[in-house]
Amino acid sequence: MENKMKQIFRPKMYIGEGRRSTDTVVAENVTDTSGTIRRSQSDRTEYGKKLKDKMASQDTPTSSCSALDPQEIRSKMMAKRLKVIQELLQTEKDYLTDLELCIKEVVEPLKDIQAVEVDRLFINIESIKQVSASLLANLEEATAGVDPEIQIIGKTFSHVKAEMEEAYKIYCYHQDDANSLLSTYEKDEEVNQQFINCIMTLKTIYDREGKSNLLNMRSFMIKPVQRVMKYPLLLRELWNCTPDSHPDIRPLEEALNSVNIINSNINEFKRGKDLVMKYKKNEEEGRLRNKINKFSFHSLRKKSDRVTGHIKRITGKEPRIKDEKFDKEEKMFKNIEKAVRQLTKNVSDLLQALEGISTAAQNDQQLQSMLLDPDKCESECPLDTKNGSNPYLHFKNKLEHLVLKPLSTLQSMFVAPQKLIQKRYDKLLDYDSSRERSSDELELARRDYEALNAQLVEGLQVFNPASKKILTNCIYFIVALFQDLMNSTHRKFPSIQHLSAPLSNISEVQNSIMEELNNLLFVKENAPKLIERKLSFDKPKRPAPESPRQSEAQRVKVLSTYPLDKVHQLKRNCNATQERDLSLFEGELVAVIEQQDPLGSTSRWLVDTGSEKGYVYSSFLKPYNPIKEQNGNPQDREVDFDDVSIFVNGSKRNSMKSLNSFSSINDIQDWTETDDNDSSGNTDDQQIFYAVYPFQARCEQELSLLEYQRVRILKFCDASGNREWWLAEANEQKGYVPANYLGKMSYA
Amino acid sequence: MSWIPFKNNNPKKQIISKTVERDFEREYEKLQKIEDQTKKLHKDMKKSTEADTAMSKAAVKISSDLLSNPLCEQDPQFLKSMTALDTAMRRMDAFNQEKVNQIQKTVIEPLKKFSSVFPSLNMAVKRREQTLQDYKRLQSKVEKYEEKEKTGPTMVKLHQAREELRPVREDFEAKNKQLLEEMPKFYHSRIDYFQPSFEALIRAQVAYFTEMHKIFGELTEQIDQPGLTDEQRERDNEARLSELKALSIVADD
């Protein structure tokens, strides 16, 4: 008994990794000869052995009796056939009884005490019972009172094959889980006791009937698995001993086929699950050691093959293996994943933005309170204190709860399938590449690929619609929440008719008030000086004056009326700022009439443009040199104080230079006045430089300089015209100093 | 504030009557409070308009991402609802922008302008304070001389001091009067100034939310059948999540 128990009980139906020799539960394929049928260990039941013996004893006669009379053979076969049918019926009956008892005495009581998850232990044993019952009914119908010559057994199986596959598939699939669950339960004293009780009850029943082959919970749980594996054997035997002329031969073949297929499907289904488990487990153990262990020659080869396979696929070569269904599901999966990912991120962003808003509603209250005078009540617009924070806070909380949470959970669920999809692709590549190789590898690869593929397709077909619905629900929530938010805030406001009419000229009203305020004495007197300075800076930015440009005739007039030394050219555009100022453009010619203005300031000159007379700041003017004009020297464009060449070239200019320097000396006094216009510029500035570096005079003509010493430049070249040495004056002393040692005094 | 140093000097003799001082204080305090409120409100309004903009931009991003997802190609119903959602969000954004602009014009800028007056006020008060100090100083000097025995040089000094005192006192009186007159005016002007702003703010918000109410009114129907209540929908979500969890391709052992 003990031995048998060990043989019956195996924790796993087959091992998922590596070795396959003892793996398969059922015969590889139908065409295997009977001699090489592989059995799993669990097949070696006492019963199975008995059957084998029975059949074996029948086998040899049939195979060796070529000399016997065909009629005799036939009758012998028919006799055997009857026996097998008898066996089939009997075993099915017993099986059904076992199932019923199990349900009645074990499953139901356990369900009642609720200490055990019966569903996980016994899975869908009720459905199995149904299948068995209907099979038995069919069998009885096919055999009771029917002439053996026309008994059609095969059809009975074909009728139930769909339900059979469904029920057993599920049962076998979960068998491992059930077993491990059972082990954990057995460790629990109380639960174990319950089990023992049930078994005892069953045992007494069985003993009454003389059967003593029940052992423990496990043996019950494994019965369906054993039964479904026996069908092929039984049917095969039946088929073997059915004469060719018997009408049942074809149906039997079909039935045999079907049950074989059922078994292999169950296997594949389980294999798929195991593969999934295997790869999921592997992915989780990311520790370095494991990774190194996996890094073997075999895995290297696999990976390199996969890479080449991948490249082959994507370089346009017609992919050989394709599963349309899978591709469709995968695409949808990807899209949903992307949508969920983006939505989660966007909703988080939205929530962040909301943080800012909930404080904003207090602004209305603040504004209102400003208007309120503690002494007198002045608020005119009745606005009940809008508890603005509430609608927004509510929105935020709900959004988090109803949308963000499910979406995040959903998002985390995408990871595992993604990995499996990747793995499937790898298997696909393996399969592709192994087509060129031996058929063993091919078979292996094909199996792996198809198992994984089937798992994924099935899984995705559930996953995709469900996740899409979740997505849609979340979107719905978002919209609904927005709606609520808008509604609740809308309700709190008075309707638009109740508000006083809008002031269309708000800005005017407010501006006039501001003006009044500004007119208040204290403002006028105390306004920061900044404002004034700002105005002056604005001036250069203003667009060019609208006064017409100087015409040729005017220029000619100027040139002809006045001596050349009085003619000046505008260095830049200038805009009129004070009374009687002129707005002029760069390059225009004017003649200087007076080198001072009515107030005595010598930085403003009275000029004649040929069409009008007015004042211009002298810094805008430079002496007009017709030759330069013709040359179109671009340097002149931006002649400022920095350009000293004008003082250097041409004798004519010298006279003008002296004119300038003369005027500039007068300007010195101006420099100290705090005029409002900074850019009036002083020609004086051109000549005050400071020594960036100290300079030691090497002869009496040179002037020693201290660092940062101020000097005035009298000449911007030396006696021989060398522009690199300037005649400078400091402390009553004159001398030449190197020009590049000097820096311009910036007017700060 | 101006009493305290004064107390140290000469608590018995008071240059300016307590009532005057108190009035001044009170007015000034009111104005200071308004100044703070204006500044704070200005900052807050700026922040809130930025937050509004951020929120509507985030909402638009949600809808446009969803719309651009290839899911829309496969499922025409989805496409329809996403398009509706996107349109709604964009309209919300547009209205929001308008609201923000409106508020900017009618509330935020006036706030800024109003607060630009305060520096001058503070300066004026400070100057008055300085004058007051001078006044007190000179006054005490005069009194000191007055208490001395009436000798020649003292008399001269006294006379001098009095001469010095007079313009300062007049200056102070002038400043004080001016401020006392003008501060209430300033204070009072805020009502007329801000009333329109307040109304404009309310109006902008009301307009916005009315529009939003309309936009979102029909939107829910277009997204999904509204048959389920929120709780049902929530439970539906949970159910599907657990359904997914049970899948072998997803479940963790």
Predicted confidence (pLDDT) per residue in A502-523, tens digit: 666 677 777 777 777 777 766 6
> What residues in A contact B47, CB-CB < 8 Å?
356, 359-360
Q: Which of B99, B107, B237 is most worth mutating to test chain A (most A CB atoms within 10 A of its CB)? A: B237
CB spacing of A378 vs B191 below 8 angstroms = yes
DSSP state of A695: B
pLDDT-based confidence at A581, cuts 50/70/90? confident
Q: Are A247 and A427 in contact (CB under 8 A)?
A: no
Residue A385 has pLDDT above 80, yes or no: no
> Is B38 in CB contact (< 8 Å) with chain A?
yes
Q: Higher pLDDT residue, B253 or A469?
A: A469
CB spacing of A353 vs B58 below 8 angstroms = yes
Q: Which of B43, B249, B250 is most worth mutating to test chain A (most A CB atoms within 10 A of its CB)? A: B249
What was the pLDDT predicted at A590?
Answer: 83
> Is A474 in CB contact (< 8 Å) with chain B?
yes
DSSP state of A399: I
pLDDT-based confidence at A546, cuts 50/70/90? very low
What are the φ/ψ torsions at residue A119 (nearest 5 degrees)?
-60, -35
Catalogue the long-range contacts made by B32-38 (C-beta closer than 8 Å, 24 or more residues apart).
B34/A370, B34/B187, B34/B190, B35/B115, B35/B118, B35/B121, B37/A366, B37/A369, B37/A370, B38/A370, B38/B111, B38/B114, B38/B115, B38/B118
> Is A295 in CB contact (< 8 Å) with chain B?
no
Q: Higher pLDDT residue, A584 or A137?
A: A137
Task: Report the 10 Å Cβ neighbour count for A378.
Answer: 11
Residue A373 has pLDDT above 50, yes or no: yes
Token pair of B237, please? 């979500």
> Is A360 in CB contact (< 8 Å) with chain B?
yes
What are the φ/ψ torsions at residue A210 (nearest 5 degrees)?
90, 0
Q: Are A615 and A607 in contact (CB under 8 A)?
A: yes
pLDDT-based confidence at A604, cuts 50/70/90? confident
Which 3-state string (H, E, C) describes chain B? CCHHHHHHHCCCCCCCCHHHHHHHHHHHHHHHHHHHHHHHHHHHHHHHHHHHHHHHHHHHHHHHHHHHCCHHHHCHHHHHHHHHHHHHHHHHHHHHHHHHHHHHHHHHHHHHHHHCCHHHHHHHHHHHHHHHHHHHHHHHHHHHHHHCCCCHHHHHHHHHHHHHHHHHHHHHHHHHHHHHHHHHHHHHHHHHHHHHHHHHHHHHHHHHHHHHHHHHHCHHHHHCCCCCCHHHHHHHHHHHHHHHHHCCCCCCC
Chain A residue at shortest CA distance from B230: A477
Which residues 400-419 in chain A show a CB within 8 A of chain B? 402, 406, 409-410, 413, 416-417
- Average pLDDT rounded to a whole number, residues A57-62: 49
* Weakest mean pLDDT among A301-305, A337-341, A386-390, A721-725: A386-390
Token pair of B6, please? 């004064």
Return d(Cα A247, Cα A245) in angstroms, integer. 6
Task: State the complex-level ipTM.
Answer: 0.78
> What residues in A contact B127, CB-CB < 8 Å?
526
* Weakest mean pLDDT among A140-144, A391-395, A627-631, B49-53: A627-631
Return d(Cα A741, Cα A547) in angstroms, integer. 44
User: Over the stretch A402-459, which tens digit does the pLDDT of each residue have?
Assistant: 888 888 888 888 888 888 888 888 888 777 777 777 777 778 888 888 888 888 888 8
CB spacing of A490 vs B44 below 8 angstroms = no
Q: Higher pLDDT residue, A40 or A361?
A: A361
Give the CA radius of gyration of chain B.
Answer: 35
What are the φ/ψ torsions at residue A377 (nearest 5 degrees)?
-90, 120
Token pair of A642, please? 């920095």
Residue A382 has pLDDT above 80, yes or no: no
Task: Report the 10 Å Cβ neighbour count for A682.
Answer: 20
Q: Which of B248, B252, B253 is most worth mutating to test chain A (most A CB atoms within 10 A of its CB)? A: B248
Q: Higher pLDDT residue, A245 or A58?
A: A245
Q: How far is CA A518 from CA B121, B128, B182, B185, in A?
A: 11, 19, 11, 12
Which residues 113-172 in chain B show a CB within 8 A of chain A? 113-114, 117, 119-121, 123-124, 127
Report helix, strand or coil for A736: strand
Compute the nearest-CA separation of B9 from chain A (Å). 29
Which residues 215-244 in chain B show a CB within 8 A of chain A? 215-217, 219-220, 223-224, 230, 233-234, 236-238, 240-241, 243-244
Which residues 58-117 in chain B show a CB within 8 A of chain A? 58-59, 61-62, 65-66, 69-71, 74, 78, 81, 85, 88, 105-107, 110, 113-114, 117
Return d(Cα A558, Cα A188) in angstroms, integer. 120
What was the pLDDT predicted at A50?
Answer: 62
CB spacing of A406 vs B237 below 8 angstroms = yes
What was the pLDDT predicted at A541?
Answer: 40
Question: Across the A/B interface, how many CB contacts are shorter than 8 Å?
Answer: 278
> What residues in A contact B235, CB-CB < 8 Å?
none
CB spacing of A343 vs B65 below 8 angstroms = yes
Residue A206 has pLDDT above 70, yes or no: yes
Return d(Cα A217, Cα A110) in angstroms, integer. 12
- The winner for highest mean pLDDT among A84-88, A240-244, A582-586 is A84-88
> Is A528 in CB contact (< 8 Å) with chain B?
yes
> Is A349 in CB contact (< 8 Å) with chain B?
yes
Q: Are A91 and A230 in contact (CB under 8 A)?
A: yes
Per DSSP, helices labelled H in A287-323 are 288-294, 297-314
What was the pLDDT predicted at A695?
Answer: 86
Q: Which of A334, A366, A370, A411 is most worth mutating to test chain B (most B CB atoms within 10 A of its CB)? A: A370
Residue A619 has pLDDT above 60, yes or no: yes
What was the pLDDT predicted at A228?
Answer: 86
What was the pLDDT predicted at A548?
Answer: 53
